[in-house]
């Protein structure tokens, strides 16, 4: 049977989040310490642990069938591969930053200035779209020190919390692009491997659909059911079951956690009692 070869970053937050997702999909494997390959014993998949910058090229060359990378890495390297799934984790942004003491109005600030970045392709495209001409210098690692050592007047780098910028006397002034983890695939997968990929995406969809969703159970007087159902739309519609006590029913529904907290007071005002909120591990539509 064919094995689907999956390239995953060998270390770091993206690696941890990717392996957690596969584990939540019920795919078991043992990657051990510093192993470069690992095969699942309950799903036809083999993991290759690689540098994130190398993953798009390995997928394009067919060494790996699919890979998980940051959207920023995919767009920077521009390999002939396709995004088959946006994964919703490892979110960050690629932003422009300048010395904290400098005044900033708009992107024309960068006209004629030197900018340091590890993402020259994305940055040049952004500047071209804005009609700004600047000198872009590609450097790898520690981009944030470039202004302090006189290499550049500004930088373009990945930002999550912004704490690294602050500790280096910089401030974020412009978002170039927002990024998240994406699953990329070779355009020349065999039929067998496409079928395995479809099975994998089915499992991933089930896991991601359950994220931030809650199963809500509550009791309510029958004359409040219509009002409560309006607040708990459910996947299709809520389930309503009669209680042993006449005139009361139990209402079951699935709702996003944000919607629940927005509506909890309205639910109570409508007569809801004994509200139970349960996390959802997986959800299949």
Last residue of some domain: 178, 195, 224?
178
Mean per-residue pLDDT over the chain, rounded? 91
Q: Does residue 32 have a pLDDT over 80?
A: no
- Quote the pTM value: 0.84
- Banded model confidence at residue 264, pLDDT cuts 50, 70, 90: confident
- What are residue 277's DSSP bridge partners? 216
Q: What's the domain count of the chain?
A: 3
pLDDT tens figures, 98-134:
999 999 999 999 999 999 999 999 999 999 999 999 9
Domain of 117, CATH number, reads 3.40.190.10
Is 171 among the domain residues? Answer: yes
The reply to whether 190 and 64 lie within a common domain is: yes
pLDDT tens figures, 218-255:
999 999 999 988 888 666 788 999 999 999 999 999 88
Tell me how far apart the alpha carbons of residues 233 and 218 are, in angstroms, rounded to a whole number: 14
The reply to whether 199 and 219 lie within a common domain is: no
- Banded model confidence at residue 160, pLDDT cuts 50, 70, 90: confident
Is 285 among the domain residues? Answer: no
Give the mean model confidence (pLDDT) for residues 150-175: 89
The reply to whether 188 and 60 lie within a common domain is: yes
The reply to whether 203 and 77 lie within a common domain is: yes
Give the mean model confidence (pLDDT) for residues 140-144: 86
pLDDT of residue 235: 66
Give the mean model confidence (pLDDT) for residues 150-164: 88
Is 229 among the domain residues? Answer: yes
Which range marks the domain in which residue 107 is found? 92-178
Domain of 274, CATH number, reads 3.30.70.120
Last residue of some domain: 209, 228, 258?
209
- The conformation of residue 78, written as its DSSP 8-state character, comes to -
Is 226 among the domain residues? Answer: yes
Share of the chain above pLDDT 70, in %: 98
Angle between helices 13-24 and 191-210 (to 10 degrees): 90
pLDDT of residue 132: 96
Who's near 16: CB < 8 A, 6+ residues apart?
A: none
Is 9 among the domain residues? Answer: yes
Can you state the percent helix, strand and coil of the chain, rounding each to 5? 35, 30, 35
- Taking the CA atoms of the chain, what radius of gyration do you get in angstroms? 25
The reply to whether 97 and 171 lie within a common domain is: yes
Is 284 among the domain residues? Answer: no
């Amino acid at each position: 049977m064919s094995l689907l070869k999956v390239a995953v970053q060998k270390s770091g937050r993206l690696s941890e989040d990717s392996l957690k997702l596969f584990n939540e999909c019920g795919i078991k494997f043992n990657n051990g310490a510093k192993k470069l390959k690992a095969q699942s014993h309950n799903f036809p998949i083999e993991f290759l642990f690689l540098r994130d910058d190398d993953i798009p090229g390995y997928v394009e060359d067919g060494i790996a069938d699919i890979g998980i990378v940051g959207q920023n890495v995919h767009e920077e390297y521009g390999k002939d591969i396709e995004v088959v799934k946006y994964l919703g984790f490892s979110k960050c942004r690629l932003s422009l930053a300048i010395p904290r003491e400098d005044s900033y109005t708009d992107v024309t600030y960068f006209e004629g200035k030197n900018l340091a970045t590890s993402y020259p392709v994305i940055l040049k495209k952004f500047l071209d779209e804005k009609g700004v001409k600047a000198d872009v210098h590609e450097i790898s690692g520690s981009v944030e020190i470039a202004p302090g050592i006189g290499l550049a007047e500004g930088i373009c780098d990945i930002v999550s919390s912004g704490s690294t910028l602050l500790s280096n006397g910089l401030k974020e002034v412009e978002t170039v692009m927002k990024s998240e983890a994406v699953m990329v695939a070779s355009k020349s997968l065999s039929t067998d491997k496409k079928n395995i990929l479809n099975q994998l995406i089915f499992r991933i969809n089930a896991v991601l659909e359950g994220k931030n969703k809650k199963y809500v159970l509550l009791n309510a007087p029958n004359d409040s059911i219509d009002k409560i159902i309006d607040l708990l739309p459910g996947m299709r519609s809520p389930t309503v079951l009669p209680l042993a006590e006449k005139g009361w029913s139990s209402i079951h529904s699935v709702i996003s956690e944000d919607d629940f907290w927005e509506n909890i007071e309205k639910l109570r005002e409508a007569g809801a009692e004994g509200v139970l909120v349960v996390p959802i591990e997986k959800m299949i539509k």
